[in-house]
Amino acid sequence: MTAAQRREQLIAVTRVLFAEKGVEGTTVEEIAANAHVSKPVVYEHFGGKEGLYAVIVDREQRTLQESIRAAIDQAKGARRKVEAGTLALLDYIESNPDGFRIISRDAPAGSTGTSFATILSDVASQVEDILADEFRRRGLRAEMAPMYAQMLVGMIAYTGQWWLDERDPDKATVAANILNLAWNGLARMVPVPGLYTPVD
């Protein structure tokens, strides 16, 4: 194997182990054994499992964000953009379950990997402009769009985490129901929401 091929092999083996056992539950010994190499080979290429984790998370993050960005950019109209982004996330979960398991877990202590919250925040920033434009069109407060973008992406992502293991109902039904709650909820928003119970 060339050095590049060995790196890819180590990444593929470790990705599966991290998805099954988590980073903390995986040892360098296990990585080496599953790749049929010695421990020093793992250290030589990545400096340890933390280096592998950083590479894997970076790849998964880019794959997820690029697919969501492309889906949103190709769709026309605010509702279709939200739908496209929702389906892109569910498509990623369906085709990359190991990757999603890895990035949706908390990063291990001392890791340089990006947290799931940071990834979701980056995705939400792509949704802010869509919501802000829609809010202006409906006479709502556009400055609240960043908060609603966080809510929307959080709802989709955490539903995706649930669906990762359930897989029932099917992807289209999950997406349609997310959109039912999200979009119909957005459609009936009032300019100045209030609570029934005052907060001190």
Residues contacting 79, CB < 8 A, separation 6+: 179, 183
- Percentage of the residues of the chain whose pLDDT score is greater than 70: 94
pLDDT at 18: 95
pLDDT tier for residue 40 given thresholds of 50, 70 and 90: very high
- Percentage of the residues of the chain whose pLDDT score is greater than 90: 56
pLDDT at 142: 92
What is the b/e burial string over 35-51, where b = at least 16 CB atoms within 10 angstroms of the residue's CB?
bebeeeebeebbeebbb
Q: Model pTM?
A: 0.83
Mean pLDDT of the region 116-144: 86
Specify whether the CB–CB gap between 1 and 42 falls below 8 A.
Answer: no
77 φψ region: left (φ > 0), alpha (ψ -120 to 50), beta (else)? left
| Distance of alpha carbon 194 from the chain centroid | 31
Closest to 72 measured CA to CA, from 114, 117, 118, 125: 125
Would you say residue 4 has pLDDT above 80?
A: yes
Encoding tokens for residue 110? Answer: 């001392």
Count CB neighbours of 33 within 10 A: 13
Specify whether the CB–CB gap between 191 and 137 falls below 8 A.
Answer: no
Specify whether the CB–CB gap between 98 and 15 falls below 8 A.
Answer: yes
- 3-188 CATH pick, 3.90.79.10, 1.10.357.10, 3.20.20.70, 3.90.1640.10: 1.10.357.10
Q: How far apart are CA 38 and CA 193, in angstroms?
A: 61
pLDDT, tens digit, for every residue of 81-129? 889 989 999 999 999 999 999 988 766 665 655 677 777 888 888 889 8
pLDDT, tens digit, for every residue of 174-192? 999 999 998 888 778 888 8
Specify whether the CB–CB gap between 175 and 90 falls below 8 A.
Answer: yes
Of the listed ranges 141-145, 159-163, 187-191, the least confidently predicted one is 187-191
Would you say residue 74 has pLDDT above 80?
A: yes
Q: How far apart are CA 148 and CA 187, in angstroms?
A: 13
Q: How far apart are CA 61 and CA 88, in angstroms?
A: 13
pLDDT at 107: 64
Would you say residue 76 has pLDDT above 80?
A: yes
pLDDT at 192: 84
